[in-house]
Structure 1
């Protein structure tokens, strides 16, 4: 009976010691075994592990990809147009030993405060570079800037045992007090561009009209020249025909020309002529000439 009484407490104590020496590492975590604050073992594989009871303790850290939102800050690009920027980062604890040595007992709270400072510093440095303008930041080209921020932040965060996987800019807006001035400047720029386009259009229209007018003048001149040449050739041909007819039968030619003169002289409705009866104009109206 006495042995049984002593055995039960011993079994209980042994069970307590055993249970306090056993711990389980979850697949989503990494664990450090500490002895008086010093790292004695690193447990990165999930499963059952052991430690020395009362002397050693276990500290676990999340092994998943974590998210961090930065505070809103103002940056000034090279064109001196201030922007309000905030970002978020994806990171994970890549080296738990270095992480523990860097942040101590503060854990993720201290690590995230330091990572925010690193991200804000890199955002200011990259977005405030000489060749970076607000238009670049507000355009699709900012992907290159985000990659640069991520790479520089990753190099700085490596000393904390962290791996920065990605950095994204959530918002890049103008401060409220600068919006109206910016909109006014944008309107002025667009109006200036519109005026330039209108001026270039008017100039092009004037060139087209001038070219069309010159083409019309040249075409009319060419047509008039060709018409004059054609009329000259026709007159020459007519005179040649007349000359040939006159040479063949001068009397008939004189008769024909007299008929044309009568037709032209008496073509009007109220034509009247005053001349002497013996005028040569009426030679072919006289009976003796007609008999001939």
Structure 2
């Protein structure tokens, strides 16, 4: 009985010691086995692992890709046009031993503070270089700049045991105090461009209008010349016809001309004339005229 009483506590302690010596490494994490603060082993593969109870402890680190948002900072490109920039990075703990030695017990919080300092320094260095302007930062060409920031940050972060997977710029904007001045300058530039376009349009309109006026004058002149030619030819033809008619029958031609004169003189309401009846005007009305060379009765 006394022997059984002694064995039960021993068995319980043994079981407790065995259980405390076993730990599970999740597939999403890595683990370090520490003994009095010194690294004794690294557990990177998922599954069961063992440690010395009471003497050793297990420190776990996330093995997934993590995100870090940087604070807003101001950068001044080569054209002295200040920009407010903030970025985010994706990183992972690549070397847990190096990570533990670099940040100590501060863990992931201390590592992110130091990584943020690295990122901000690289952002200032790359975006503030002599070859970079604000237009380059705000254009699609900034992809090459972001890759430079990532590569240089990765080189610096390796000392922390971190691998910088990606860096992206979330915001590249003008400082608030510069926005109004920038908008005013942009507005002035657009107004100047609009005035230039209006001036060029007016100049083009004047050229088109002058060409149209010239064309009208030329067409009118050509039409007038052609009409005068046609009128002259018509008058000549009429005169020739009259001459031929007069030569063929002078009496009939005189009769025709007298009838035309009567028509014109007695046109409309003008039917009264004060004239001597013995005048030649009434030769064909009083029968003294002749037609075809014969006297009329």
Q: Indicate the TM-score class for this superposition, using the shorter chain for normalisation.
A: 0.7 to 0.9
Alpha-carbon distance in structure 2 between the residues aligned to 1:221 and 1:247: 38
Q: Displacement, 1:55?
A: 4.8
Native 8 Å contact 1:87 1:167 kept in 2: yes
**Does the residue aligned with 2:52 lie in a helix, a strand or coil?**
coil
1:249-268 alignment runs, 5 A limit: 249-260=249-260
Q: Displacement, 1:287?
A: 4.8
**Does the residue aligned with 1:191 lie in a helix, a strand or coil?**
helix
State the number of aligned residues: 291
Partner of 2:156: 156
Partner of 2:233: 233
Partner of 1:116: 116
Asked whether 1:70 is paired with 2:77, we answer no
**Structure (1 or 2) with the greater helix fraction:** 1
Native 8 Å contact 1:265 1:271 kept in 2: no
1:13-52 alignment runs, 5 A limit: 13-35=13-35, 37-52=37-52
Q: CA RMSD in A?
A: 3.3
Q: Give the 3 Å change call, closer, same or farther, for CA 47–230 of structure 1 in structure 2.
A: same
Q: Displacement, 1:74?
A: 0.6
**Does the residue aligned with 1:86 lie in a helix, a strand or coil?**
strand
Q: Displacement, 1:49?
A: 0.4
Q: Displacement, 1:131?
A: 5.0
Native 8 Å contact 1:73 1:86 kept in 2: yes
Alpha-carbon distance in structure 1 between the residues aligned to 2:157 and 2:237: 105
Q: Displacement, 1:263?
A: 5.0
Long gaps (5+) in structure 2: none
Long gaps (5+) in structure 1: none
Partner of 1:81: 81
Q: Give the 3 Å change call, closer, same or farther, for CA 46–277 of structure 1 in structure 2.
A: same
Give deviations 1:42-92, integer Å, cap 9, x for gaps.
Answer: 222222101234554322111122221212211112332212222222221
TM-score when scaled to structure 2? Answer: 0.80
1:1-292 alignment runs, 5 A limit: 1-35=1-35, 37-138=37-138, 142=142, 145-260=145-260, 269=270, 287-290=287-290, 291=295
**Does the residue aligned with 1:31 lie in a helix, a strand or coil?**
strand
**Does the residue aligned with 2:27 lie in a helix, a strand or coil?**
coil
